[in-house]
Each structure stands twice: as structure tokens, then as C-alpha cells.
Structure 1
Amino acid sequence: MADRELFEGFALQAVDQKGRVAIPADLRAAAERNSDIRQIVVSSHPFDPCLSAHDLSWSKEKYDRIDNPELVPGDAGQQADARAKRRAFGLVEKAPFDDSGRFVIPPFFKKKARIEKWALFYGSGESFE
């Protein structure tokens, strides 16, 4: 993760009737530096009632961490859990974003997170919520 740009900062963004919203500039800049593809991976947060998103390159790194427990402190010697892989990669949706960072929140996740007119974005290191 040494070469990755961290997602830092926060912003409140308007969501239009079609579910479009703009990724805040600082978060978008990190996503663009981390991946050549203008696409984010959206999922439900594993603990909090919100959404989580990250750039495409983080998916590969996250997989490597789940598949190789030696990379995660305290998990050395344990087998990768198939449930952890399903949680991390199964219930996700990729969403492309344009030059201004606008993307359509996937309808399933928009409803699940109860997003209506506003979305609060905040960085959380390797992802943003």
C-alpha cells in the first residue's frame, strides 16, 4: 500500500433524482491516481449502515490480503475463509465515473443505505464511505 494514495477528507454532496452524485475532488483525485480506470467498486459497509467504495486496484490488493493471511497481523497460518471472500467480492457493483467524478449510485445500494437527496462522503484510508 506504500504506493497508493489514501482517501482522506469529507464532503456533503447533492444526489439528483436519477441517483447521480459527484465524488468529492480530493477523493476522486486519489481514485484516479490509484487506478487508470475511472470506475469505483461500491458495496455495503461491513459494520456501519452506509456504503463503502474504492478504486479497482484496491480490489486486487484486498484479495491478496484475504487469500494470504501472512499479510494480516494475527492471521498467520490460517486458511482464507470463503465467507470473507464472498463478503468482500460478492455483493459489490462497479460504477464508472466521468471527468467531474459523477456516477450513478447503484439502485440496490442507494436503497439499502437510504440515500435520498444528500450523500456524506468521507475518506477512510484505502476506501471511502
Structure 2
Amino acid sequence: MDDKSRVALPSALRILVERNLGPMAEHKEGRVLTITSHERDPCLLAYDEPWFDQMMLDVESRARAHGAEDGAINDWILRLGTGVPENASFDANGRFILPAFLKAHAGITRHAFFYGRISGIEIWDPATLMAFEGAPPVLREACRFHMERNKVVL
């Protein structure tokens, strides 16, 4: 991360995001990620628009399924499931500015570790990930590997 809070999607993840965005990715205004807080873990999640839209439908469905007896939607599920989303435009190299609140919320200070999953991208502060007991060992190993490869001491 640089002094302006810019980070860059790893190229493999950028290619997948651009593929999901389709023709929108060919235009500057179409290259947008939605970044939000994770529902339970101390990291951020990033989605391209199609995945974020689907996630919102899934969260709403879950909130309706667990609504009150009077039919009211479960606001707690909506709040946790949507997090605090903010859009971030990325350039042709995958660089974007991490939104200030979300960066602070996840404790990301100098470095960011990106982990691609089926439904989005997790963004971690490496030290937080290494200390997080809920992280699978392979995720910690991947973080350690990439940080060492970039000469980052944890």
C-alpha cells in the first residue's frame, strides 16, 4: 500500500473481476469494486457488481427467512450481511484506493493480502490474519508465502 492508500489487485484476481464485469470493464467508469466489512471476520470483502448484487439478494432472502412473526424482515441479518459497502474504482492495472473507514476497520496499515474465493475477494491486514484463530492454516501459509516473496517481515 502506498501513502495514498492505493493497493493493487493481484493480476489473476483482476482478470477474473474484469471477466465478470464483461464489457463494462473496458471503460474506466465500469471498473468498480464494492468493498465492505466481513460479517464475522476481521477483514474486508471485495466484489464486482454482479457478485455483489447476487450477495445482496442472498442476504435479503436470509433476512426474510429469519424474520419476525409479524413478517418484518430481520434487520440484524441485513446489517451484518451488507456491512458498510463503499465503491472503489480500479485502473487498468488493478490499483484502487482502499476506503478510509474500511481500511481502519480491518486494521490495514502498511500491507494488504488478497485472497480470492468463489464469491469475492477477502482483503486482510497480514498481521491480523496471522493472529486470527479462525483462519484456516492454508490461508495463513499463503499469506506468509506472499509476504516473504515481497520481502515483508510479519
TM-score (norm 2): 0.63
Alignment of 1:28 with 2:28, yes or no, is no
Q: What's the offset of the Cα at 1:84?
A: 2.2
Q: What's the offset of the Cα at 1:123?
A: 0.9
1:62/1:114 CA distance change after superposition, 3 Å: same
Partner of 1:122: 115
- Amino acid across the alignment from 2:108: I
Q: Which runs of 5+ in 2 are unaligned?
A: 25-29, 68-72, 123-154
Aligned match of 1:103 in 96, 103, 120?
Answer: 96
C-alpha RMSD over aligned residues: 2.1
With a CA cutoff of 8 Å and minimum separation of 6, indicate the structure with the bigger relative contact order.
1
Q: What's the offset of the Cα at 1:90?
A: 5.3
**Cα deviations by residue, 1:24-69 (Å, 9 ceiling, x for unpaired):** 1111111111122211111111222111111111122112223335
1:71-82 to structure 2, matched below 5 A, reads 78-79=66-67, 80-82=73-75
Q: Which runs of 5+ in 1 are unaligned?
A: 1-14, 70-74
Aligned match of 2:36 in 24, 31, 43?
Answer: 43
State the distance in 2 between where 1:76 and 1:91 align: 20
Identity over aligned residues, as a percent? 36
Q: Which has the higher strand share?
A: 1
Q: Which has the higher helix share?
A: 2
Q: Which runs of 4+ in 1 moved over 4 A?
A: 75-80
Q: What's the offset of the Cα at 1:76?
A: 9.7
Which structure would you say has the larger Rg? 2
